[in-house]
Structure 1
Amino acid sequence: MAKLSLLLLLELLIFFTPSLSCPEYQKQALLNFKASLINSTTTTSTEGQRVLLFESWNSSSDCCNWERVNCSSSLGSRTVIALYLNDLVDQLPREHTVLTSNILTPLFHIRSLTHLNVSKNKIQGELPSDGFANLTELISLDLGSNDFFGFIPSQLFQLRYLQYLDMSSNNFHDIPKEIGNMTELRHLQFLDLSKNHLEGMFPQWLAEMEVGFIILSGNKLTGSLPPSLFNSTYLNILSLSQNKFYGQLPSNIGNATYLMSLMLNDNNFSGKIPESISNLRTLTLLDLSKNKFSGNSLPDFSSNIWPQIIDLSSNEFSGEISTNFSILTRVLSLGKNKFSGIMSTNLNNMRQLECLDIHDNKITGEFPDFICQISTLRILNLRNNSFQGSIHDCISNLTSLQILDLSNNRLVGKIPAKFGNFTGMIKTSNESVGDVIGFMTTSFSFQGKINDLILNWKKSTQGLSWKNLNIYSLLDLSMNQLSGEIPTTLDSLKALKTFNVSHNNLYGRIPASLGDLLNLESLDLSHNNLSGSIPQELAKLQQLSILDVSNNKLAGRIPGGSQMDTMNDPNFYANNSGLCGMQIRVPCPEDFSPTKPPKVESKERWFSWEGVGIGYAVSFIITVGILYLAKYFVPAKPPNYHRQRRRRRI
């Protein structure tokens, strides 16, 4: 009986095996797609890569077992429901791969698809609208990071089960207006049309839908935002940055009570920030930078325990920074506004603050010593304000500091020797603030990018990515009235990349210990009263690409070496008392060939005149001899010559 049951079970398995495989027409459609992809590569050198990429795709096996293919798990039959065909081009040399939108045609025969991902393939051409109309079961469609152009087909917005639609980083120009009359998209939760060329107003139909993630950044959209957009309790992410939106924000913005990320940067919004924004209790990322917002007060964020990043930089805010912020704020950027007065001690409450950036404002008063209590600070940027007084020694409590920019203020006194205690500049942390912040719901995830840090890096204004914060370390005290000598204790800051103390009143010698900062890339000591020579130890700095010691009182030879020889701009050594070296094409005194002592020179001169005298005497004697022989020089006989001779005879 047991053998009979086993035999019956075996027959049933054999009988049902064909039905557990994917349908033949779906297999053939996928094989046609494979053939089209392979034919799109124009060289034979990548044959091995192409075969390996679709090694499991062959006519003798079940397509449900192929890589990048998922099938339904139904016992009655199995059909293809998901294709993950993203990043195919990255595995082939792009210069030999040209994919057009026609390559998608075979896939439109698989009507059971619920998930289709063909992102990051650089597919060119217009979207085949009729083809997507066949995929009526689609729940998720990812077409991002390709080269599609033209209009977005209205057929896409008729897919009634569609929840996730990503068409970012393409070249689409317009959204069909007739979508406003359609109700099929009632399940849409994620819409990403960023980094295209979309024009026109914010779609009214989109404002009235219950969409959780709306990402339209990097387009050419204009106009004001419809108030109905913020009546949605489902709205979690709204990213409209880098467009041309203008006008004031709707006063009911606080009605979107579950909004986690609001990114409106790089637009032309103006007016005050609505007070109702304080009602967004789940707000984690707020970026309103690079607009024209104004007002002498800011909303009170202290009751919101979620905000991690608040960026209000590059606007027209004025008055004192007197608002309260969440105690959990990690990044607070208020730079490039018109804030004035003294800094509020309320900032002291933010005990998790990692970045405080208030550069380019009109803040006055003494250097704020309460900052010394925010021990988590890694970035402190007070550049271009009017801070006075000396730098307190307590700043050495900020051991995590990696970037300290106090340039262009009115600070006086000495550079604290305790700067050498900045652990963050001795060895940078492996932890990064990160240039993105993640948001996740039960169905979707999103990463919001944080604006780059804007700093004076290597004598130019540059944006530095937060992602690589662990490799940055900067100390900029330039454009102040600091005096005294450069502390030798700074030699402990081994991770320092940029050190700038230019345009101060520093004096004394350049510490030879700066040669121990082996990671230093830029050293600016210009416009001070430094004297002595440039230490030979600086030749050890193999990463150094900028050395500016101009406008000091330095003398002597500029150190040479493989790296020092490359820094040969004479302007970086100008206006000193006596520098020399190959970098400025001025020879040093010791470079001349050695000369003989004065005594030897006198003797040489005597021998030369002695030779003249001897030559003259010899010439005279020879001349006389010649004349004598020629009888031109015979002595005349006296008149009584003969008489005298006769007398001698007598």
Structure 2
Amino acid sequence: MHLNIPGNNIAGEIPGEGLANLSQLVTLNIAHNRFNGFIPSQLFSLKKLQFLALGFNLIEGTISREVGNLSLAGLYLEKNFMEGKIPIEMGNLNLLQRLVLSRNKFSGKVPLSLSNLTHLEELLLGDNMLTGEIFPLVQNMSKLGRLDLANNSFNGTIPEWLFDLENLKVLYIGENHLSLKNLDKAPRCEFQALSLPSCNISGHMPLWLCKHTQLTLLDLRDNHLKGTIPVCLAEIKLFGILLSGNKLAGSIPPCLFNNRKLYNLWLGRNKFTGPLPNTVGNASALRVLTLGGNNFCGQITESISSLSQLLLLDLSENSFSGDFMSTTFSPNSSLAFVDLSSNRLTGPVPMTFSASIEVLILGQNEFSGALPQNLTS
């Protein structure tokens, strides 16, 4: 009844004839292997099948129209090489709770029949080539908890009612041709992840975000947001704050770096000013810190060198000044990418990084003296 063999590095085609003999099969999970070829038609004759997980393989081809013959509650096909249109017959799966088709090459419009799937709790279609309007199909899906439409070519206006879906916790809809006027209206749901990059959002950062205490990811990159970062955001233990490519100004609240869970902080290409807070080094889990393309000034705080997990540091295109040589990173530092270009840094060329660094960009500063000998290592 249940065949679960995920993550075993199994290669070859899916054995259709053998699986067809398992007439009592309820669960088939062969995800995270190296299966290739097409989905065999015999799978669609398994009348009792409720859970089908084929994600993270090398499967090609299209979704057969026979998929509508099944009584699935969960269908997972993510991270394969599948293509073509989503079949109309998918709308016959009226018991479906989770539909995961992300990270494939599906194209065309999503069929209107998907509006029949009123029991859906997860609809993940991100990273495909899907087009057309999507929200009229979602309106009746009141049980949705996760919605991922990111990185497609959907168009239209993001409706206000989307934020009235009380069960919605994870929303990824950026990198399309969608627009949302602003984020003024407080949602009825409580987000755990909110990702709306490139959605033409204007206005100030909404204060209602501070009430979403379960929020771990906030991604509002490449919009038209203005004003300052709300200090109350520091009280939420966010893993990722991605706000680059807006019109945000003012200084970074020093308390933002007291979050020891903060993993990614992207604030590049804004209008931030002032010196960096000395509290930067408190964010001990920080892996990516991008502050390029702002108006920061003053000396770069030495506390940055205590970020032992940091992989990428971008401080380019600001007005930082002074000698960076005093900022010494550990020889065991994880730092792989450093961009300090287009500032007003002076003194010797800094070589206070781990020898494992891969990219070091120091141009358009005011460094002087000879190139250091240890550059050769």
Normalising by structure 1, what TM-score? Answer: 0.49
Distance 1:264 1:216, change over 3 A: same
Matches of residues 314-393 of structure 1 in structure 2 within 5 Å?
Answer: 314-318=175-179, 320=180, 341-347=181-187, 349-350=188-189, 352-389=190-227, 391-392=228-229
Q: Is the 8 A contact 2:173 2:196 kept in 1?
A: no
Q: Secondary structure at the match of 2:112?
A: coil
Matched, 1:147 2:8: no
Which residue is 2:254 aligned to?
419
Which residue is 1:572 aligned to?
361
Q: Secondary structure at the match of 1:412?
A: strand
Matches of residues 217-228 of structure 1 in structure 2 within 5 Å?
Answer: 217=78, 218-226=80-88, 228=89
Which residue is 2:133 aligned to?
272
Count matched residues. 370
Residue-by-residue CA offset, 1:418-462 (whole Å, 9 max, x unaligned): 3235432xx22xxxxxxxxxxxxxxxxxxxxxxxxxxxxxxxxxx
Matches of residues 117-136 of structure 1 in structure 2 within 5 Å?
Answer: none
Name the CA distance, whole Å, in 1 between partners of 2:248 and 2:6.
53
Between Structure 1 and Structure 2, the one with more strand by share is 2
Q: Secondary structure at the match of 1:199?
A: coil
Distance 1:584 1:302, change over 3 A: same
Which residue is 1:5 aligned to?
none
Which of structures 1 and 2 has the larger relative contact order (alpha carbons within 8 angstroms, sep 6+)? 2
Residue-by-residue CA offset, 1:610-635 (whole Å, 9 max, x unaligned): xxxxxxxxxxxxxxxxxxxxxxxxxx
User: Match for 2:27: what amino acid?
Assistant: Y
Distance 1:281 1:583, change over 3 A: same
Task: Give the deviation of 1:186 after TM superposition.
Answer: 3.1
RMSD: 3.7
User: Match for 1:407: what amino acid?
Assistant: S
Residue-by-residue CA offset, 1:509-534 (whole Å, 9 max, x unaligned): 33334444444443333322333222
Matches of residues 48-447 of structure 1 in structure 2 within 5 Å?
Answer: 146-149=10-13, 152-153=16-17, 156-157=19-20, 159-166=22-29, 169=33, 170-173=35-38, 175-176=40-41, 185-194=46-55, 195-200=57-62, 202-217=63-78, 218-226=80-88, 228-273=89-134, 275-298=136-159, 300-301=161-162, 304-318=165-179, 320=180, 341-347=181-187, 349-350=188-189, 352-389=190-227, 391-392=228-229, 394-395=231-232, 397-413=234-250, 415-416=251-252, 418-424=253-259, 427-428=260-261
Q: Is the 8 A contact 1:197 1:219 kept in 2?
A: yes
Which residue is 2:273 aligned to?
483
Residue-by-residue CA offset, 1:554-588 (whole Å, 9 max, x unaligned): 32234555x3566697x7333333433544899xx
Distance 1:233 1:493, change over 3 A: closer
Matched, 1:522 2:357: no
Name the CA distance, whole Å, in 1 between partners of 2:100 and 2:266.
34
Name the CA distance, whole Å, in 2 between partners of 1:541 and 1:396.
33
Q: Is the 8 A contact 1:360 1:383 kept in 2?
A: yes
Q: Which of 525, 532, 555 does residue 346 from structure 2 map onto?
A: 555
Which residue is 1:619 aligned to?
none
User: Match for 1:317: what amino acid?
Assistant: L
Q: Is the 8 A contact 2:47 2:69 kept in 1?
A: no
Q: Secondary structure at the match of 1:365?
A: strand
User: Match for 2:243: what amino acid?
Assistant: L
Task: Give the deviation of 1:313 after TM superposition.
Answer: 2.9
Residue-by-residue CA offset, 1:67-113 (whole Å, 9 max, x unaligned): xxxxxxxxxxxxxxxxxxxxxxxxxxxxxxxxxxxxxxxxxxxxxxx
Flag structure 1 segments of 5+ consecutive residues without an equivalent: 1-113, 122-144, 321-340, 429-471, 587-650
User: Match for 1:294: what amino acid?
Assistant: N
Q: Is the 8 A contact 1:420 1:493 kept in 2?
A: no
Distance 1:541 1:487, change over 3 A: farther
Flag structure 2 segments of 5+ consecutive residues without an equivalent: none
Q: Secondary structure at the match of 1:207?
A: helix
Name the CA distance, whole Å, in 1 between partners of 2:164 and 2:208.
22
Residue-by-residue CA offset, 1:102-138 (whole Å, 9 max, x unaligned): xxxxxxxxxxxx77777766xxxxxxxxxxxxxxxxx
Residue-by-residue CA offset, 1:143-192 (whole Å, 9 max, x unaligned): xx522338732x64355433334455422335348x88x7xx43333334
Q: Is the 8 A contact 1:491 1:514 kept in 2?
A: yes
User: Match for 2:344: what amino acid?
Assistant: K
Q: Is the 8 A contact 2:151 2:176 kept in 1?
A: yes
Distance 1:281 1:312, change over 3 A: same
Task: Give the deviation of 1:293 after TM superposition.
Answer: 2.0
Q: Secondary structure at the match of 1:205?
A: helix
Distance 1:356 1:284, change over 3 A: closer
Q: Secondary structure at the match of 1:206?
A: helix
Name the CA distance, whole Å, in 1 between partners of 2:244 and 2:285.
20
Between Structure 1 and Structure 2, the one with more helix by share is 1
Residue-by-residue CA offset, 1:21-63 (whole Å, 9 max, x unaligned): xxxxxxxxxxxxxxxxxxxxxxxxxxxxxxxxxxxxxxxxxxx
User: Match for 1:345: what amino acid?
Assistant: K
Name the CA distance, whole Å, in 2 between partners of 1:246 and 1:296.
20
User: Match for 1:579: what amino acid?
Assistant: S
Name the CA distance, whole Å, in 1 between partners of 2:171 and 2:235.
22
Distance 1:492 1:206, change over 3 A: closer
Q: Secondary structure at the match of 2:38?
A: strand
Q: Is the 8 A contact 1:268 1:292 kept in 2?
A: yes
User: Match for 1:199: what amino acid?
Assistant: G
Task: Give the deviation of 1:207 after TM superposition.
Answer: 0.5
User: Match for 1:164: what amino acid?
Assistant: T
Name the CA distance, whole Å, in 1 between partners of 2:206 and 2:332.
37
Name the CA distance, whole Å, in 1 between partners of 2:342 and 2:24.
71
Q: Is the 8 A contact 1:152 1:172 kept in 2?
A: no
Matched, 1:538 2:352: no
Name the CA distance, whole Å, in 2 between partners of 1:240 and 1:258.
17
Name the CA distance, whole Å, in 2 between partners of 1:403 and 1:119.
29
Q: Secondary structure at the match of 2:174?
A: coil
Distance 1:409 1:299, change over 3 A: closer
Name the CA distance, whole Å, in 2 between partners of 1:522 and 1:196.
31
User: Match for 2:255: what amino acid?
Assistant: G
Q: Secondary structure at the match of 1:536?
A: coil
